[in-house]
Amino acid sequence: MPAYDRFGAANYVSSHAAPMSTGNCAKFVRLAIERGGIVIDRTRDAKGYGQSLISAGFYEINSAYLQKGDVVVIQPIANHPAGHMAMFDGQIWVSDSKQYHGFYPSQQYRTVQPTYKIYRHN
């Protein structure tokens, strides 16, 4: 299994984030993971990246202690059928934009609180 540069991945996603969401959360996080040295299988939507992450050496963790490079995959809610994906940059969650209110990307997600899983690479 190749080494994962979680610092490089987190720095990449943080430095490439747009001021507002562009609707490309999975793409930005996938590119950051690849910048970190791990290639993951592409899926159509953010909600489906869990198995791709596991196949690439990530494993599910408890969210009590987060590290740079951890990835969250969030299931869909109404009007957001693709779900959401973001990476922890050491301070905040980042996808295609910086998320200052936690890993749920919007108030609608925070209200509904759909299921999610957080992954870390070995």
C-alpha dist (Å) from residue 3 to 38, 48, 69:
8, 23, 13
Whole-number pLDDT of residue 2 = 73
Tell me if 70 is assigned to some domain.
Answer: yes
Whole-number pLDDT of residue 63 = 77
Full pLDDT tens readout for the chain, 122 residues: 678 999 999 999 999 999 889 899 999 999 999 999 999 999 999 999 999 999 999 999 987 799 999 999 999 999 999 999 999 999 999 999 999 999 999 999 999 999 999 999 98
Please tell me the total count of domains within the chain.
Answer: 1
Tell me if 80 is assigned to some domain.
Answer: yes
Whole-number pLDDT of residue 111 = 95
Q: What is the CATH number of the domain that holds 83?
A: 3.90.1720.10
Tell me if 51 is assigned to some domain.
Answer: yes
Tell me if 1 is assigned to some domain.
Answer: no
Domain that holds residue 35: 6-121
